[in-house]
């Protein structure tokens, strides 16, 4: 059973976000033509944004059209809750083909957090849809410069379950490596994929099951992002859907061709009038006399991730109060919280997961994480991604409820 089929009562919903010009549109165009996306409802801002006029099969109503691939494409006109409710009503009434999954594209400046909040807190929506994952696209050429100057893309990256680096065929390998270092500093647990011209199989966007306990149980440490060593390898995707693992020592040449004419949706004006990028921007060639600061984990806009480990089982009621009060006091600064927790008088560990003010109901894992020697690791571990929030403040807040962490 795939991740997107784990629930017979809810429809998985993937949020596709990314900064302006990061390649979301190119990605969606490719996916909307893929027969494997049949049964997918794609929610976008305007039909014209992805050029669907020549592919229209049937107009369901003013907000929805049917495409040859079997996708239903809808526009957001106002409240998201209304759109999702209407979509499900059309699904039940057989006005549209049966919906297996939903992909929701945000605008380039949008904060995905309110969408996650809607899915977690609106009772009607919660019974129908389940957040499958947050996927963030990042411009391989301009991403570093955008992260240097803008908070929005940094937040989109910090709360992502999967990060897709676009335009990797026209970006310098050194710039991609620096960008990946920045991405991992912002979000240690997210899987990173590299794509060329939007060539990506649907399985890399939908059916992630990133918020299912089974995913956390498959590799708890990777899911948490708690390992201080290099995290998951980057995956380079090719047009034939083959995958190449790009480890830190990879000798693979990712710069497939020079900057020849191509169909990427980026603005060449941003490349610089003289063809020489400014210090700190993607494409800048740092020579021996360059005084540029090469700390690629800088410009994080106050975003940092930190881990908390407790070696004794935690009181369940105290844990609940601790998380609720922490979210209430620091919610705006808590971009994401993940935890695998040992609770008193419980045989199996629990998964906790929160985005800013809201925490999901806890789920039970089927088994404990394992140490390298095969023994079970029954410690409670949390990873917090926060902005402008000193870890010492969180430790002081949790101490009356959970005691002092060992790390």
Domains and CATH numbers, the chain: 10-244 (3.40.50.300), 303-402 (3.30.1220.10)
Asked whether the predicted pLDDT for residue 194 surpasses 90, the reply is yes
Predicted pLDDT of residue 11: 93
Q: pLDDT digits over 381-396, tens only?
A: 998 999 999 999 999 9
Q: What percent of the chain has pLDDT over 70?
A: 69
Q: Give the Cβ contact number of residue 261 at 10 Å.
A: 4
DSSP states of 329-367: HHTTTEEEEEEEE-BTT-SS-EEEEEETTEEPPPEE-SS
Place 145 in a pLDDT band, splitting at 50, 70 and 90.
very high
Q: 46-60, 69-83, 154-168, 286-300: which has the highest mean pLDDT? A: 154-168
The closest of 75, 76, 59 to 67, measured between CA atoms, is 59
Asked whether the predicted pLDDT for residue 288 surpasses 50, the reply is no
Asked whether the predicted pLDDT for residue 64 surpasses 60, the reply is yes
Q: Global pTM?
A: 0.71
8 Å CB contact between 396 and 329: no
Q: pLDDT digits over 43-53, tens only?
A: 876 555 554 44
Mean pLDDT of the chain: 76
Of 195 and 293, the one with more pLDDT: 195
Place 326 in a pLDDT band, splitting at 50, 70 and 90.
very high
Q: pLDDT digits over 372-383, tens only?
A: 888 988 999 998
Q: Which two tokens stand for residue 91?
A: 């699904």
Phi, psi of 39 (to 5 degrees): 85, 10
């Amino acid at each position: 059973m795939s991740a997107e089929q784990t629930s017979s009562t809810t429809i998985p919903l993937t949020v596709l976000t990314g900064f302006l010009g990061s390649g979301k549109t190119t990605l969606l165009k490719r996916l909307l033509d893929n027969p494997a996306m049949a049964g997918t409802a794609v929610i976008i801002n305007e039909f014209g944004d992805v050029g669907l006029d020549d592919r229209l099969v049937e107009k369901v109503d003013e907000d929805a059209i049917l495409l040859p691939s079997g996708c239903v494409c809808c526009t957001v006109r106002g409240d998201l809750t209304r759109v999702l409710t209407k979509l499900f009503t059309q699904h039940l009434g057989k006005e549209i083909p049966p919906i297996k999954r939903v992909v929701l594209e945000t605008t380039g400046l949008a904060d995905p957090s309110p969408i996650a909040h809607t899915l977690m807190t609106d009772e009607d929506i919660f019974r129908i849809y389940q957040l499958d994952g947050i996927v963030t696209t990042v411009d391989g050429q301009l991403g570093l410069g955008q992260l240097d100057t803008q908070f929005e893309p940094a937040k989109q990256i910090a709360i992502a379950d999967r990060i897709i680096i676009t335009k990797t065929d026209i970006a310098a390998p050194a710039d991609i490596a620096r960008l990946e270092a920045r991405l991992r500093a912002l979000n240690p647990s997210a899987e990173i994929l590299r794509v060329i011209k939007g060539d990506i199989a649907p399985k890399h966007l939908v059916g992630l099951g990133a918020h299912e306990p089974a995913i956390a149980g498959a590799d708890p440490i990777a899911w948490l992002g708690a390992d201080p060593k290099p995290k998951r390898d980057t995956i380079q995707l090719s047009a034939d859907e083959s995958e190449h693992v790009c480890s830190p020592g990879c000798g693979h040449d990712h710069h497939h061709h020079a900057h020849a004419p191509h169909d990427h949706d980026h603005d060449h004006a941003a490349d610089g009038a003289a063809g020489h990028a400014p210090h700190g921007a993607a494409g800048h060639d740092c020579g021996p006399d360059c005084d540029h600061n090469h700390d690629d984990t800088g410009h994080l806009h106050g975003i940092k991730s930190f881990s908390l480990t407790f070696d004794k089982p935690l009181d369940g009621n105290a844990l609940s109060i601790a998380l609720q009060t922490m979210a209430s006091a620091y919610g705006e600064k808590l971009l994401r919280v993940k935890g695998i927790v040992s609770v008193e008088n419980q045989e199996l560990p629990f998964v906790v997961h929160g985005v800013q003010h809201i925490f999901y109901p806890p789920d039970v894992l089927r088994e404990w994480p394992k140490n390298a020697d095969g023994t079970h690791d029954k410690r409670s571990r949390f990873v917090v991604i926060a902005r402008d929030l000193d870890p010492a403040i969180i430790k002081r807040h949790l101490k009356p409820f959970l005691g002092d962490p060992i790390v």
